[in-house]
A = this chain, B = another copy of it.
Amino acid sequence: MKRKLRMGMVGGGPGAFIGEVHRKAARLDGKIEVAAGAFDIDPVKSRQMGEELKLAPSRVYGNYQEMLAAEAVLPANERIDFVSVTTPNNWHFPIAKAALETGFHVMCEKPMTMTVAEAMELKKVVEKSGKVFGLMHTYPGYPMVKLAKDLVKQGKLGKIRRVVISYVQGWLAKAIEKDGQMQASWRTDPKQSGAGGCVGDIGTHAANLAEYITGSRITDICADLNSFVEGRLLDDDGNCLLRMENGIRGVMYCSQIAVSEENNLSIWVYGTEGGIEWHQVNPNQLVVKSIGKATEIWERGSDYVNNCSKAAARSSRIPAGHPEGYLEAFANHYSNFADTVLAKEAGEAPDALMLDFPGVDDGIEGMVFIGKVVESAKSGQKWIKL
């Protein structure tokens, strides 16, 4: 009988969107329980969240250093197994580093760090620690995205030629950061968000998704970044020509001023023999195209999907026709992360299906991508190698 992993959270205080998603996702499959946390820099709020989560007060901490120190000396069957990092971007790196060095596994929100140098350093820390490191690039967690990757790998689309990825939101169309909107404030502040605004917040998701599905990496980019809202210090919109390994060409664009769009993420991939199309708004369907044939709508949970992709089958929870969503995608990463931790604990090598969650290399690529996009845009939109 496998045991439940104990999770310690940093971030995720009252009102934090992504922290609550991490908790629900971690809890979903009964493999993980929230056991401790430093939920907010305000200790009152941190305690408030601890109470809401029915944690023992002794396991609710004022900051992450306290948590790591205190948990490290608890008995093995009580102390947390891993740390979940869901703070603003500038805290990801120091917390993840400290947690790994204290001996805990880490699941970290993206972007992984503020700079490429930190990302490189974190990789060394991960390797030295021997611990499991997960990065929450959500979208590869969707079953139909896993199916898409497998269809590409199996050659159903032929040789891949063309990719388009679009991730558009509209919530920053006005200068809401000036009205004290918390999410907007830190996301438009270079000190907390890093060099990229929109491109860092959602452009990296788009780039990561393209690389995940095609199995090819972005090699060159030529970008145009915009700050449409007056006085905004970071980009809130951007368009980017892409060149990828294996001769793939394409476009990635993202925006946070696309009025009334919510989280409109879509990808189109075309090969010599077929294509796929996936839209987060309808995540249970994958559009599959083949030369000379009718367009097909593949449905999550169907036998023909499950027979075609073990990863899709394994990451589905409910039957075809009943929609799954964002939480399940998130939970798939936590579930694979937990399986990997438990396998390692048991001295077994985790299999490829368990290891199917984003990690430190995705984090480095994300940081490089942000840096190069910003550099290309500043340089007057030259092509730049990644």
B249 touches A224 (CB 8 A): yes
Question: Copy number in this complex?
Answer: 4
Interface positions, chain A 264-291, Cβ under 8 Å from B, are 264, 268, 270-275, 280-284, 288-291
Bound-state CA distance A273–B262 (Å) is 15
Bound-state CA distance A233–B249 (Å) is 18
Interface string of A244-274 (1 = CB under 8 A from B): 0000011101010111111110001011111
A128 within 8 A of B: no
A326 touches B323 (CB 8 A): yes
A17-B319, A241-B381, A262-B320 known; A270 and B294 CB under 8 Å? no
A30-B27, A324-B327 known; A293 and B54 CB under 8 Å? no
B281 touches A270 (CB 8 A): no
B224 touches A241 (CB 8 A): yes
Q: With CB as the reference atom, state the residue of chain B lying closest to A169.
A: B321
Contact of A173 among B21, B241, B261, B291 (CB under 8 A): B291
Bound-state CA distance A212–B228 (Å) is 22
Contact of A280 among B224, B293, B298, B323 (CB under 8 A): B323
A294 touches B288 (CB 8 A): yes
Interface positions, chain A 142-159, Cβ under 8 Å from B, are 157
A224-B241, A228-B161, A323-B325 known; A274 and B249 CB under 8 Å? no
Q: Interface residue count for A (Cβ, 8 Å)?
A: 93
A30-B27, A239-B251, A327-B317 known; A297 and B294 CB under 8 Å? yes
Bound-state CA distance A170–B290 (Å) is 10
B297 touches A257 (CB 8 A): no
A315 within 8 A of B: no
Interface positions, chain A 314-344, Cβ under 8 Å from B, are 317-328
A292 within 8 A of B: yes
A116 within 8 A of B: no
Bound-state CA distance A253–B270 (Å) is 14
Interface-side segment among A6-14, A74-82, A299-307, A345-353: A299-307
B17 touches A318 (CB 8 A): yes
A162 touches B3 (CB 8 A): no
A226 within 8 A of B: yes
A224-B222, A321-B264, A326-B324 known; A54 and B28 CB under 8 Å? no
A380 within 8 A of B: yes
Chain B residues lying within 8 Å of A133, measured Cβ to Cβ, are none
A259-B290, A383-B380 known; A54 and B321 CB under 8 Å? no
Interface string of A67-79 (1 = CB under 8 A from B): 0000000000000
Q: With CB as the reference atom, state the residue of chain B lying closest to A282.
A: B282
Not counting A162-B257, A237-B249, A294-B297, a sample of 13 additional A-B residue pairs whose C-beta atoms are within 8 angstroms of each other reads: A21-B317, A30-B54, A161-B228, A173-B291, A239-B241, A239-B249, A259-B274, A259-B275, A260-B274, A292-B303, A318-B325, A324-B327, A325-B325
Chain A contacts to B: CB under 8 angstroms: 1-4, 17, 20-21, 23-24, 27-30, 34, 51-54, 157, 161-162, 164, 166, 169-170, 173-174, 222, 224, 226, 228, 237, 239, 241-243, 249-251, 253, 255, 257-264, 268, 270-275, 280-284, 288-299, 301-304, 317-328, 380-383
Q: Could you pull out 8 A-B pairs where Cβ atoms are within 8 angstroms?
A: A30-B34, A162-B255, A258-B275, A259-B290, A261-B321, A263-B319, A324-B326, A382-B382
